[in-house]
Amino acid sequence: MMNSTNNGTGWWRGATAAALALGAGLAGCATTEETRDYKGTALSELHSFYVVQSADDARGIDRLIVREIDLLGLEATSGPAAARPADVDGEITYVAKWVDDNLFKLELEIRPLSKGAEAVRAGSYLQRKQPSGMVHELLEILLPPRKVEALRK
């Protein structure tokens, strides 16, 4: 009788250990990396952005970034690097690498265009999220909340 109980307990422990290892492995694939070290212009001072279209992006990630920035109440346009307008405050570049239709890696970099300012990067690795959700998440990390003034009557 003792033997069958030990076998059941051993199986349970083995299954639990395997589940924990699998969870830890999947969590490692779904991490978000954040970097906020920059000098010069604070990102909260930027109000207009140009999103540089990635040459190998066939899924319109640049348009998703523009839409998310617009939802934040800021201005954004996108296009090729050579067409960047002179009057924008910051430039956003991105790298999107797809493993399959649902699993991809996305990295964003915001570069303030004022002299002496350094770029800020954020990356989200191997996420199974909609691209718009990942863009939103990364912009939320990179762009500080804005103070919104109440409308005066």
DSSP string, 34-85: E-----SS-GGG--EEEEEPPTT--S-HHHHHHHHHHHTT-EEEEE-GGG--
Encode pLDDT of 44-79 as tens digits.
Answer: 788 999 999 998 888 899 999 999 999 888 999 999
pLDDT for the residue 146 = 61
* Predicted pLDDT at 11: 44
Give me the CATH topology for the region 32-142: Double Stranded RNA Binding Domain (3.30.160)
- Give pLDDT, residue 145: 67
pLDDT, tens digit only, all 153 positions of the chain: 545 445 555 544 444 344 433 333 333 344 444 444 444 457 778 899 999 999 888 889 999 999 999 988 899 999 999 999 999 999 999 998 888 877 778 899 999 998 777 888 887 777 777 888 889 888 888 886 665 554 454
* pLDDT of amino acid 151: 46
Where in the chain are the domains? 1-30, 32-142
CA 61/CA 105 separation, integer angstroms = 12
What does residue 105 show for φ and ψ, rounded to 5 degrees?
Answer: -115, 135
Q: What is the pLDDT of residue 38?
A: 43
**Predicted TM-score (pTM) above 0.85:** no
